[in-house]
Amino acid sequence: MTTTYYWTAWLRNKAMDYAFSAAAWTPPATLWVGLAESVADNGEITGEPSGSNYGRVSFTNNVENLPAASSGAKFVNINIVFNAATGSWGTPTVAFLSDSETGNTNTLLWGTISNSRAIGSGDTVYFAPGADINIALTGVES
């Protein structure tokens, strides 16, 4: 359902500080998956649905739900299932991970929904384990 996930500037900065200056950072214990029209590089979320039974979906940030990285990639290994919509959620075009249930607090990354469509009453949005939310770091080969 999604393609490439993009790290926000906030997460890139945290990773760089942790890796190269030993700056302490404790990853969030809970992650939240949300839907929106767009996410800016600074993590600002635009067009997130509100009402009609929409809410971000939480999961525990651990090795069972996010198995160890391999070849610079990892994936969410559980079903992410949103509440059934009771009205229109618009047409979300991105999914994102945040450390917060609401707002623009520390949006970690976002990815384009490849089969985006209007979400209406009775629709249920879900992401399959190991397939729909894949996170990767890529390098430049010389």
In angstroms, how far apart are the furthest CA atoms of the chain?
52
- As a whole number of angstroms, the distance between CA 72 and CA 69 comes to 6
pLDDT band at 77, cuts 50/70/90?
A: very high
**Domain assignments of the chain as residue spans, ordered by start:** 2-136
pLDDT band at 141, cuts 50/70/90?
A: very low
Checking 70-73 for CB contacts under 8 A at 24+ apart, the result is 72/136, 72/137, 72/138, 72/139, 73/134, 73/135, 73/136, 73/137
Beta bridge partner(s), residue 57: 33
* Cβ–Cβ < 8 Å for 17, 25: yes
Tell me the pLDDT of the chain averaged across its residues: 89
Distances from the Cα of 14 to the Cα of 25, 94, 103, 117, angstroms: 7, 22, 20, 33
Q: For the segment 100-138, what is each residue's pLDDT rounded down to a tens digit? A: 999 887 899 999 998 899 999 999 999 999 888 888 775
pLDDT of residue 25: 83
